[in-house]
Chain A
Amino acid sequence: MTQALLFKDIDEPNLADIAVYERRGGYEQLRKVLSMSQDAVLSELDASGLRGRGGAGFPAGRKASFLPKGDMDKYLVCNADESEPGTFKDRELMQKCPHALIEGIVIAARAGGINRAFIYIRGEYEEQAQILDRAIAQAYDAGYLGERILGSDVSVSLVLHRGAGAYICGEETGLLDSLEGKRGNPRLKPPFPAIEGLYGGPTLINNVETLMTMPQILRMGGNKYAELGVSGSSGTKIVSVSGHVQRPGNYEIELGIPSREIIYGLAGGPPPGRSVKLWFPGGSSAPVLTAEDLDVPYDFDSLAKAGSMLGSGAIIVVDDSTPVLDVALKTARFYRHESCGKCTPCREGTNWTVKMLERIEAGEATPMDLDIMASVQEQIIGNCLCVLGDAMAMPIGSMIAKFRGEFEKHMQRAQLTGASA
């Protein structure tokens, strides 16, 4: 059930202090990779089957192997923007165990042959940023960062950069623009960041949790790590459960357990007397699932087969006390607000969707508007520059498909109340 790797010592007092972290075995894997070849580190990561924990789920080892070999300036960027609504795992990880992130960064840098690293942290995480500041200073003092780490020929510099609070800056290329001091707009891909990223150099971008898993993989060995979880979704995952559950919070699970065990077993399910109406399995951009899907195994492939995605591992539970329209409107407004405005379908589509939902709310819509709204979502999906547009269109589209009756009922009711008002 719960399998503690990242969370094993998470509640150890003062774990954020380097001495405590070292006492619990911290930085041992960093010492190990210093004497390993780049290929050896890469093959451990490959063997682990670790898939990115930020949302896209791309195999981490393969991503690192895309970086060209050579002496050019290469960069590692840790994406600590954690902007997906419902996701708060990286916050706890950074707050309680910042040194594991630093250790993971050095390991990933080794895997990519990189010696310049950045952590891009969202502006709202000021407390965590201060903790990281302290931890980075300690790591430099201890020789775990900087020139010739622990006397080896490996050098990694690390800079913490605070964002200013924009969802789009969690998108990897928007993040790079922001890190370069520009307006945070996503870039056209290709070229992919692995070839041309930060300051035009090859860049490896990984999520906090992904990087923090790397010391565990090195400790256990890639093959051993791969035995955890299920085929295609190895290892453990921190799941942020929120919404209508009795025990919201972060839980570390072995991938592949039934979703019901997380929502009901770990998080306690909805308050007594209420039932699950819908749930986002992987952050607010995942298509919603219903109570019927509660037995779907919680792993990348099973959720995809169920028509949704594991995403960032943020489960948002909505029970039967909340109208689906409210969920849709809140979701759509968020994405309209966060759309950068660079590409047409996202900019206009999110804006239009919100306006249509507002009309439904105000009782000024007809069932035909649901068809239009559904077709607008279709017009967005797959046609945008980055995935922000899809991030609204997928959940909204799924809500219309699965709760059409409720939308229609709401329209009728709102028309009546609107007429009487």
Chain B
Amino acid sequence: MPRPQPSEITFSIDGREVKAPEDMMLADAAKLGDIEIPVFCYEPKLGPPVGACRMCLVEIEGMPKLQTACSTAVKDGMVVHTRSERARVAQEAVVEFLLINHPLDCPVCDKGGECPLQDITFGWGGGKSRFIEPKRHFRKPLELSPLIAIDRERCILCYRCVRYSQEIPEDYQLVLLERGAESFVGTFDGHPYVAPFSGNIVELCPVGALTSRPYRFRARPWEIEDAGSICTLCPAQCNTRLTVRDERVLRVLDRNHPEVDDGWLCDKGRFAYQAMHVDERITSPMIRDGGVLREVGWDRALAEAVGALRRGGSATAALAGGGATNEEGLLLGRLLREVLGSSHLDSRDGEAVSLPHWRALANPKLAARVSDLEFAHAVLVLDCEPLDDMPILDLRLRKGARRNGVKLLIATERASALDSRADAAIRFAPGRGAELAWALAAALRGEPVDAAAQAAGIATDDLHALADALRDAGREIVILYGERVLDGDPGALLALADALGLAEQDGGGLLGVPAVANGRGLREAGVTPNAGPGLGLPALAGGHGAREIARRLASGELTALYLLQVDPVLHYSDAELWERALARATTVVAHASFLTPGLREHATVIFPAETSPEKEGTITHPDGRVQRLRVAAAHAGDVRAEWRVLAEIIERLGGAPTPPTARALSEALFEDVPFYGGLTLDGLAGRGLRWPELQVSNTLSDAYEEAEPKLRKPLRAAKGKLLVGTYRSIWAAPEVAASPALAFLTPRQRVELAAADAEALELRHDEAVVISDGEREVRARVVLRAAAPAGTAFLERELEEDGANVLRGPHVTIRTVASVEAEAAALIAAEEARAAAETETLAQAEAEQVT
């Protein structure tokens, strides 16, 4: 559905002539004339207005009754009076009604001081109270969930939270119970409201009825500072507003950016700020001394790192991840390529993607922006689970499908949370996203599909149905893909984009979800083995990608590893190879906030990493929006700016001097990356800029020659075995485990099975099992999922314990822990019996000897 293009009209409000887009709701249009109309239930983010609270009653000439400004579309020539006698009386009446049952506990209410009910009472209320009867009472406060407290006495029944639950994440958990004056917000049977986006209701609540449990009683509005920031816990890079008191972040709120987050946050982004201020966080440098990590001063740690890197020289490799900024990426590239003489650096798992592929993928003509998801004719979700990989997009996709009729098509290996919203969904074999893309491209082009479909593990009928749905949807199509789809053959996705003619469409294109928050920015800053800053030719050729780096470290060809906010043992696939690689490396220098398994065992020097509120620099959103991070809170403990640490190391190793300030460094970045040319920090301001929209952006050539598909062999079923697929949960993050409020969500390994497979393997729901690929094992609990594709077991990656990253697949066996233990016990018993027999024989022989 194309974006609406409303025409401009003029209307009169309280005697002012105001211009506004036609059909804008009066409550919003009034603001264009600097007139505020009070509202409680109205919140445009929640969809169509409901007119429930009646706070916004205004007088419109020609209409006999007062009208709700929230639901009245503004028309040319409309004459509105918001403060006429009739309107004023009605507004005072509504305030009076709302206060009837509202307790006057403002002095102890968290909302006090930032409460719309307080503000509107002062602004539009009658200033008197005539209600002397007893107010209604509820038990309070109650836990609505471990994260949210509900005070039903304070609730003014505006419906916002209930509408949110039903209209935005569509979880339908919150409902209004009872009726009339007895109504209250609750859940079915009192179940806790636990959901990935539950925290948004706290911010939606116009009174103190829903409060954040971690924030309750921590601060009053007049004691806090507000600081704009960006969440760097995932690629969504949601814009946030931090509540800071005494240099500690106490709360995270949304900072509505329609092109980024649409004004919502996930619970990870909202509550994981707690991890900034926990004891487990690394806040001073450490070195390994006598096999044990211990805290040291900066000088000692820097000297240690510099010495080790000098020894490592061109045998040094580097990886970057997490929320590392573009500037840090730039410096990491300079350190490796210009100072140490190595080009082995990467910012993503797996094999290296070629430079022509990266350049073609970054072509501005192919770039979709986030809001296109909401207005395109169709969106194809390819090889990613938005809810886990870039959570906020889950809400955006639902919005597009719900409000604008965007056709939602899903092609993933694992069942998606969006399936129930989708017009079509197909499943391919684990890891075969590239083959699926080739098959789909072939189907769209009318070419033979059998080989690719077989390699992708899908039925050709399903494939053609999906292709038909895409073809019939309309011109503007967005492909939202997980960067995993580039593994195997990056050309597949480009072929699919070509088959759909995406380069010719304004409202469509590609939107890639990287594995880490600033995946795109790090790549564009040059943290990729075969490209320098700006996807230019690297200063040094012959760089290896992450997987090859692991192999070469394990074989001893490379000896030192520099880790910028990444622990490959935790984050990358084939954890066992990485375990060997890190064990073999003589030097592992890491910037980290938490001691993850690989660092705990193998890091030789650890520098404390910054969290995003402490950082200065820029990051790049998956849709090319360069966003600015500003310091919002002071560094915890001995933490230093990471770019300064990198600059110091470069300098001590004799490299060229780094610009002296963060601002100058950002300017250097904009100079080094040609398509960032023209950006300035002031220009980025609080909203950022999308470089694909800039005039200078087209420095990437369109020249890309499609090559023959490289298809892997089809995955065959094996008797008694299942294919293994992996995914990363939204909650798999050290920050979640470290935040006291979120810790209850920390995932434990679970193996997702189709009922038929579980039955064949005689496994029950919640049974403890051992999953083995023949050499490596993972323990898990069985979870039966109706939507799970048969023949494949799905396990979670990136868990500190029993992460599926260790498994190589493609097949695994699953046995119950009980049977494995029984077998082991039998083996031990047999061994003991054999040993006992042997002892007896020996004793006999001895006895015979004695005699």
Instruction: Identify the A interface with B (CB < 8 A).
Output: 166, 168, 183, 188, 336-345, 347-352, 355-356, 359, 372, 379, 382-385
Contacts and interface: CB of A to CB of B under 8 A. Distances in A.
Nearest to B100: A348
Given A341-B179, A347-B97, A349-B97, 18 more contacts: A188-B49, A188-B68, A338-B179, A338-B180, A339-B179, A341-B157, A341-B178, A341-B181, A342-B50, A342-B52, A343-B54, A344-B156, A345-B93, A351-B100, A379-B89, A382-B65, A383-B54, A385-B52
B93 A336 contact: no
Contacts of B89: 379
B50 A341 contact: no
B179 A348 contact: no
Contact of B57 (A339, A352, A383): A383
A338 B57 CA distance: 24
A345 B54 contact: yes
A342 B52 CA distance: 6
B159 interface: yes
Given A345-B97, A352-B133, A385-B52, A336 B180 contact: yes
A350 B53 contact: no
The 3 A-B residue pairs with the shortest CB-CB distance, nearest first, are A379-B93, A341-B183, A351-B181
A383 B51 CA distance: 11
A26 B226 CA distance: 75
Interface in B170-220: 175-176, 178-183
B187 to A, nearest CB: 14
A344 B55 contact: yes
Nearest to A336: B180
Given A344-B54, A348-B181, A351-B100, A183 B176 contact: yes
A359 B96 contact: no
B122 interface: no
Contacts of B179: 166, 168, 338-341
A336 B97 contact: no
Contact of A384 (B54, B71, B98, B156): B54
B180 A337 contact: yes
A168 B159 CA distance: 18
Contacts of A337: 180
A21 to B, nearest CB: 39
B738 interface: no
Nearest to A371: B130
B94 interface: yes
B90 interface: yes
15 contacts: A183-B175, A336-B180, A338-B180, A341-B176, A341-B180, A341-B182, A343-B51, A344-B97, A344-B98, A345-B93, A347-B183, A348-B98, A348-B101, A382-B66, A385-B52
Contacts of B157: 341-342, 344, 347
A372 B157 CA distance: 24
A352 to B, nearest CB: 6
Contacts of A383: 54, 57, 66, 90, 93-94
A344 B181 contact: no
Contacts of A350: 180-181
A349 B133 CA distance: 13
A318 B537 CA distance: 95
B744 interface: no
Nearest to A388: B180
A297 B130 CA distance: 41
A348 B100 CA distance: 7
Given A347-B181, A351-B180, A342 B159 contact: yes
A336 B98 CA distance: 16
Given A188-B49, A341-B157, A379 B96 contact: yes
A345 B94 contact: yes
A350 B181 CA distance: 8
Nearest to B99: A348
Contacts of A384: 54
Contacts of A168: 179
Nearest to B73: A190
Nearest to B180: A339
Which of B50, B133, B157, B179: most chain A Cβ within 10 A?
Answer: B179
B704 interface: no
A189 B182 CA distance: 25
Contacts of B94: 344-345, 383
A379 B180 contact: no
Which of B96, B100, B133, B181: most chain A Cβ within 10 A?
Answer: B181
Contacts of A355: 133
B780 to A, nearest CB: 38
Contacts of B50: 188, 342
B138 interface: no
A343 B53 contact: yes
Given A336-B180, A383-B94, A344 B65 contact: no
Contacts of B181: 336, 339, 341, 347-348, 350-351
A267 to B, nearest CB: 33
A35 B27 CA distance: 50
Nearest to A358: B133
Nearest to A379: B93
B183 A188 contact: no
A355 B130 CA distance: 13
A385 B96 contact: no
Contacts of B66: 382-383
B57 to A, nearest CB: 6
Which of B66, B96, B180: most chain A Cβ within 10 A?
Answer: B180
Nearest to A339: B180
A411 to B, nearest CB: 15
B664 to A, nearest CB: 55
A379 B90 contact: yes
B180 A344 contact: no
Contacts of B176: 183, 341
A128 B57 CA distance: 42
A382 B181 CA distance: 19
A269 B226 CA distance: 73
A343 B66 CA distance: 15
Given A338-B180, A351-B180, A372 B54 contact: no
Interface string B45-67: 00011111111010000000110
A6 B13 CA distance: 52
Contacts of A382: 65-66
A389 B200 CA distance: 32
A262 to B, nearest CB: 31
A348 B133 CA distance: 12
Given A337-B180, A350-B180, A351-B180, A344 B133 contact: no
Nearest to A389: B54
B39 to A, nearest CB: 12
B178 to A, nearest CB: 8
A315 to B, nearest CB: 27
Contacts of A183: 175-176
A344 B52 contact: yes
B52 A343 contact: yes
Given A340-B180, A341-B176, A348 B52 contact: no
Which of A352, A355, A383, A385: most chain B Cβ within 10 A?
Answer: A383
A8 B19 CA distance: 62
B128 to A, nearest CB: 11
A359 B71 contact: no
Nearest to B162: A183
A382 B97 CA distance: 15
B97 A379 contact: yes
Contacts of B97: 344-345, 347-349, 352, 379
Contacts of B48: 188
Contacts of A188: 48-51, 68, 71
Contacts of A359: 133
A379 B57 CA distance: 12
A183 B100 CA distance: 25
A341 B96 CA distance: 16
Contacts of B53: 343-344
Interface string B620-631: 000000000000
Interface string B93-121: 11011101100000000000000000000
